[in-house]
Structure 1
Amino acid sequence: MIEQIRQRLTQALAPTELEIVDEGHLHAGHAGEGRGHFHVRIVSPAFAGLLPIRRHRLVYAALDGLMDNGIHALSIDAKNK
């Protein structure tokens, strides 16, 4: 799943920095037994001039189809530099 997330974000947002962490172990006992919990830290020029909510929407759009189909929960840290 991490590789799918990486490919989609790279293709859609051309990040200069991208870190994806599987945080499932922090959510053991939650829905899906912790599977599908990820944290994304992404820096992209595509975020320049955008408010955080718009940056998050771009990330969600890039991951369309994976949300609730491999990704149960996603925390996002999106910066433009």
Structure 2
Amino acid sequence: MSRSERIRAALAQRFSPTLLDVVDESHQHAGHAGARPGGETHFRVRIVAPAFAGLSRVARHRQVNQALAAELEAGLHALAIEAAAPGEAGA
């Protein structure tokens, strides 16, 4: 299973999102810190889930980072997060 698939599975299980996009942006960071041959080091996640209702941006990011702690420990170098609750602007 690829890192992208593991990220998707972990977030789907934890948050039951109504929208989940996981994009591997590693190719944009070739030669930069944390980049590795073969990629799977830099990701962008867009997630919309009821679990984020009433939470601050920081709290949402913390929850996503906690859900992906194993990936972060295993070499995920960078994670851009866009997290919203359904019905919010940008959701």
Q: 1:16 aligns with which of 15, 18, 22?
A: 18
1:5 maps to 7
Counterpart secondary structure, 2:69: coil
Say which SS state the counterpart of residue 26 (structure 1) adopts: helix
Q: Which residue of 29, 32, 41 corresponds with 1:30?
A: 32
How far did residue 33 of structure 1 move?
Answer: 2.9
State the aligned residue count.
81
Secondary structure at the counterpart of residue 59 of structure 1: helix
In structure 1, the gaps of 5 or more residues are none
- Are the aligned partners of 2:20 and 2:46 in contact in 1 as well (CA < 8 Å)? yes
Equivalent position of 2:79 in the other structure: 74
Match of 1:42 among 42, 47, 50: 47
Q: Is the 8 A contact 2:42 2:79 kept in 1?
A: yes
The percentage of aligned residue pairs carrying the same residue is: 52
Q: When the two structures are superposed, what TM-score results if normalisation uses the length of structure 2?
A: 0.83
TM-score, normalised relative to structure 1 = 0.93
Give 5+ residue unaligned stretches, structure 2: 87-91
SS where residue 65 of structure 1 aligns? helix
* Secondary structure of 1:66's aligned partner: helix
Structure ID, larger Rg: 2
